[in-house]
Chain A
């Protein structure tokens, strides 16, 4: 084949170009420490790298979820621990009153007051908040799941606007939750009757519009509205003990690994009211029953409640154990997920990252090739027949 100078020049420039391209690629790999710098470098491996990175990100998310679940589980553990102690203390107090010999009206009242303080604590445990939400409300996490003791005032005179009035709880320990009636005997006088017993609480009290009326741990405010009270006008007061459940029984489930969810919460009705548990105990009702028994000095009833306190403790313990089991599960999943994540990382690195020794060798090889072709080229292009025709 006839070879011309241009053939040589063309070939030389192509070779130089090829060598430069290889050199640049080797340099890029060294600089980024990656074998695949754009997807088209190796679409199949590149696609796997994308998938692996996605999987790592999901592992991170799961680990994050587990972290979160673990800290929430801690809240439940603390709360049920407090609950357990509270029930133990209640039993301790009550045992003293179960003995007919040592128990007197005075000790019973002291115990009752102490127990009703514990009842208040029970409500505040039941209304525990964590990270801005009520943890025992099921799905209803934006409002206290258990009502405090409450009193409401009603009556025809309020409904038609003749009078204004409201009631609020001052001291739950002093309340007996009986229904009461306020009876006006004149425009400026009223009686208070306990309608459960039919006994008057107080009689012939002076009425002054807007002046608060206090009795049995409750404060009433009654004021003139469109009109003023007249003789025979009645207002009804009802009160409810703490512990009415306002949440629901729903479980908030969180994904901790693909296709596997665990509950984040314990609904309050399960742990505090024993819903869904054979022979489950409503702790609030129990405390109320104890309160009544102490008020009435009914030793048999008091003794009966001791067993129920034990059962209540068991109920709380079993929920607490459930929390423990859940934390163990979380630990297991966490360590498995951490393993998975590091395996994924290794796999990704094997595909994507360069072997530095290999890449360095590649770089110096392509550098050598480039220099060699430069020096060979500079010699070829020097000579021509014209040089020798002088």
Chain B
């Protein structure tokens, strides 16, 4: 203390510290627009025995705020992806006054009206068939569009999973590079520490948009990234998301992780984030809309066939179908453990058909329950199962046969009478090639319009929906409105999340963002301190000179 060289040393330290401060300010200014950059500050402390020392450079951030941002990112990512997907879906259902499936349905019934007025007219018959074809191509076109959207969503799922895996690998790599120094202040011994941590934070932020994440930091500054109960990154170890095609869902990809050698479906854990939104849009909304279009096609085919069969064509033949393509569908659920497979599924009684989703659920190797997933009711329980013996439900007959292993309890088969109908429906060949075969009457007389009237009355018959309560046109409008309602709700959810995110971003910016005004002030501050320290050195030098002159 009081040593002149000591003072000189203090001055030297001060100059060094102020220069470092200036350098940090420079870094801040240089990175004012760098995404993910966290404002830094030189950490200075007085040294025992006088003078000043640079401890290191710290990042200014708020852990609590960061955690909230992660949550908000997940929600925002979910809303954004959902809105995008639903808008795309809605645009497939958009119709003008002149074109669209609603219009085709209207025209179809209109042509039927005209046929009922002039059942003997060849041109009326031709016109009705033409309208029916138009309606069929409308159904087919619409479900084709939905398939295309589902395909695109599937593609996006793949891309997002790949991106998420790249991110988790990078996070693990940074965990390794940090080598136990994470969370500390960057010092001369650990250059680049802040940059690495910024980079890791940025990656986690990006990941949080795709999947919901929870971040745990251990005492070494290594992070564990959790999604639900799965750790995607744990130190340097990465649990990659995998993609498995699901035959029960048109070969669409499921996102799974390997757990104890078995794939575990992640869908339930992805409640937030864009990946979950894409999966839900693909497997719920888009699939449901496809299902509704299929149901409409199946409903039209069944009801028109039942009435048409009762009528007689101009050629005196009755019992013909109007539409072809009705078929039962049975698929094994994803993740069945036994290896029973579907041998056949057929419609045995069209009049007993409905458009609910049924499940055959095995409760043991030789017993099953039948469950109606649309009404969420159990149809029957404790049925005995023998391989190859048809199971009859709701007008359908399903044959399941076991392979090497018996079905396990919990195995399920999805059964319904409509899947894919919108792409199969066609005019019955006998009617398509011969308008006279159209059964407008019940007696075969040319002017008999009773069956045309009976067909026409189907327009107002509530045969669609669960329970049947909607007409064909009403059912389709309802489907459209329910999709639009969801799109609207998703839009407003996005809007409110956007506002929340905006506030969080402003708060984050207020903690971690670079203010040019502040840095300008810092420049002056450090400059003046630097000048003062320099003056100190000069004065000390003069003092020393004075002492030397004494000799």
Contact = CB atoms under 8 A, between A and B. Distances in A.
Interface stretch (B390-398, B483-491, B529-537): B483-491
Interface stretch (B194-202, B341-349, B506-514): B506-514
Interface stretch (B112-120, B287-295, B298-306): B112-120
B110 A57 contact: yes
Contact of A133 (B86, B118, B514, B515): B118
A65 B513 contact: no
Contacts of B32: 5-6
Contacts of B449: 139, 252-254
Contacts of A140: 445-447
A316 interface: no
Interface string A33-69: 0000011111110110011011001000100110010
Interface string A177-207: 0000000000000000000000000000000
Contact of B90 (A38, A131, A254, A386): A38
Nearest to A138: B447
Interface string B446-473: 1111000100100010000000000001
B116 A254 contact: yes
B477 A40 contact: no
Contact of A142 (B93, B116, B446, B453): B446
Contacts, number: 159
B428 to A, nearest CB: 24
A142 B120 contact: yes
Q: Which of B97, B102, B447, B481 has the most CB of A within 10 A?
A: B447
A10 B90 contact: no
A204 to B, nearest CB: 49
Contacts of B94: 38-39
A132 interface: yes
Given A40-B90, A53-B97, A132 B515 contact: no
Interface string A232-256: 0000000000000000101011110
Contact of B488 (A2, A5, A11, A40): A40
A323 B118 CA distance: 19
A43 B447 contact: no
Interface stretch (A107-115, A217-225, A258-266, A271-279): A258-266
Contact of B510 (A2, A39, A53, A143): A2
B441 A6 contact: no
Contact of B509 (A6, A47, A384): A6
Nearest to B502: A14
B443 interface: yes
Given A39-B484, A139-B443, A264 B448 contact: no
B434 interface: no
A385 interface: yes
Given A4-B515, A40-B488, A264 B117 contact: yes
A1 B511 CA distance: 9
A141 B514 contact: no
Contacts of B117: 65, 68, 254, 264
A4 B448 contact: no
Q: Which of B510, B514, B517, B521 neighbours the largest number of chain A CB atoms within 10 Å of its CB? A: B517
Interface in A1-22: 1-7, 10-11, 14
A385 B513 contact: no
Nearest to A135: B447
Nearest to A142: B446
B443 A4 contact: no
Contacts of A258: 460
Most buried by B among A54, A133, A253: A54
A290 B436 CA distance: 43
B520 A386 contact: yes
Given A131-B118, A261-B453, A389-B524, A250 B448 contact: yes
A342 B87 CA distance: 33
A68 to B, nearest CB: 6
A47 B481 contact: yes
Interface string B171-195: 0000000000000000000000000
A137 B120 CA distance: 12
B515 A2 contact: yes
A10 B505 contact: yes
Contacts of A4: 509-510, 513-516, 518
B338 interface: no
A11 B445 contact: no
Most A CB within 10 A of own CB, among B90, B445, B487: B445
B106 A47 contact: no
A51 B515 contact: no
Contacts of A265: 447
Contact of A39 (B93, B445, B453): B93
B110 A61 contact: yes
Given A5-B32, A43-B484, A43-B485, A385 B516 contact: yes
Given A4-B515, A14-B502, A39 B481 contact: yes
Given A261-B453, A384-B520, 13 more contacts: A1-B510, A6-B513, A6-B514, A11-B502, A39-B480, A39-B481, A40-B90, A42-B488, A54-B102, A61-B110, A133-B121, A265-B447, A385-B521
Interface of A: 1-7, 10-11, 14, 38-44, 46-47, 50-51, 53-54, 57, 61, 64-65, 68, 131-133, 137-143, 248, 250, 252-255, 258, 261, 264-265, 384-386, 389
23 contacts: A1-B510, A7-B510, A10-B506, A14-B502, A38-B90, A39-B93, A39-B94, A39-B487, A40-B86, A40-B87, A42-B488, A43-B485, A46-B481, A47-B480, A50-B480, A61-B113, A65-B113, A133-B120, A138-B445, A138-B447, A143-B446, A250-B447, A255-B456
The 8 nearest A-B residue pairs measured at CB: A141-B447, A39-B484, A142-B446, A139-B445, A47-B481, A139-B448, A40-B487, A43-B484
